Amino acid sequence: MKKWRVKAIRGGSISADKSGCTHYRNFGVKLEMPIWFVAATNGDLKVLVDTGMKDLDWVVKSGAEPFAHQTAEEETPAALKSAMGWEPDEVDVVINTHLHYDHCGYNAAFGNAAIYLQRKEYEAAFDATPGLRHLYAARYFDKRAVPYFRWKLLDGEELIAPGLLVFPTPGHSHGHQSVLFDAGEGAVCVTGDVAALAENIYENIETNIVVDAGKVYESFETIRRRADFIIPGHEPGIANLSECGFPTVG
Ligand SMILES: [Zn+2]
């Protein structure tokens, strides 16, 4: 079986207090957290995991994230072109870990891709509780943005292609999933935001954006069991355009 080549691409960043990612610990420690999306290929398929953040002005002014930053080169289509040489229409598969604004911003741009998401996340995105509503912006995923037939809504674990598995990792959101690639260096897991930082896994500590804390810790266990390496959603320790040397699971 062909191995996957997996590349982490920076699609902007968020200036944050670390306490927001480590359940109120580390108050006063400033973090510049990258927004990661991932491009991967096995030589046949071109795959994206998450599609980054779109319309920085809107993101900042709407209050989705007042401390977000993005250069023109970090906008997903431009970053993807310079990192991989891919045009949006060439992408075969998009996988969303979840539908927060910084993970699905450019879904509409990938007009030829099937978009894989857990059904539970699609439903939860239209029915968020008041404190989390600002993270779900329908402009990125409703039927005006993405025709319904383009979604591949999943009900649990699914092998998308040989060596490419998605599996539910709920807790940060109801229908959150993570993605596992059989890559040259081992099993590489794009964790999404259930682990925003590698430290969430190492210290066994949840982030502050949680819908079910018990499930977060179960998801950590699943990731530890299945992965050799992790690409957490906002880990500052990963270098832009890395293809190897990702953080280990512990
Ligand atoms: Zn999130």
Please report the sign of the dihedral spanned by the C-alpha atoms of residue 197, residue 198, residue 199, residue 201: positive
Question: What is the amino acid identity at position 9?
Answer: I
Quote the ligand 1 centre to 173 CA distance (angstroms): 7
Instruction: Check if the beta carbon of residue 199 is closer than 8 Å to that of residue 19.
Output: no
Q: What is the C-alpha radius of gyration for the chain, rounded to an integer number of angstroms?
A: 16
Quote the ligand 1 centre to 237 CA distance (angstroms): 18
**Mean of per-residue pLDDT scores for the chain:** 97
Structural domain boundaries in the chain: 5-232
Quote the ligand 1 centre to 17 CA distance (angstroms): 16
* Cα–Cα distance for residue pair 59/68, rounded to 1 Å: 7
Quote the ligand 1 centre to 44 CA distance (angstroms): 30
Quote the ligand 1 centre to 2 CA distance (angstroms): 31
Look at the pTM and tell me if it is higher than 0.75.
yes
Ligand 1 ion: nearby residues, β-carbon < 5 Å: 100, 193
Model confidence band, residue 107 (pLDDT cutoffs 50, 70, 90): very high
Q: What is the pLDDT of residues 45-61, one digit of tens each?
A: 999 999 999 999 999 99
| Residue 1 pLDDT greater than 90, yes or no | no
Q: What is the pLDDT of residues 235-247, one digit of tens each?
A: 999 999 999 999 9
Q: What is the pLDDT of residues 109-127, one digit of tens each?
A: 999 999 999 999 999 999 9
Superfamily assignment of 5-232 in CATH? Ribonuclease Z/Hydroxyacylglutathione hydrolase-like (3.60.15.10)
Q: What is the pLDDT of residues 76-100, one digit of tens each?
A: 999 999 999 999 999 999 999 999 9
Question: What is the amino acid identity at position 44?
Answer: D
Q: Which residues contact 43 (CB under 8 A, 6 or more apart)?
A: 2
Pairing of strands 114-118, 151-154: parallel
Eight-class DSSP state of 51: -
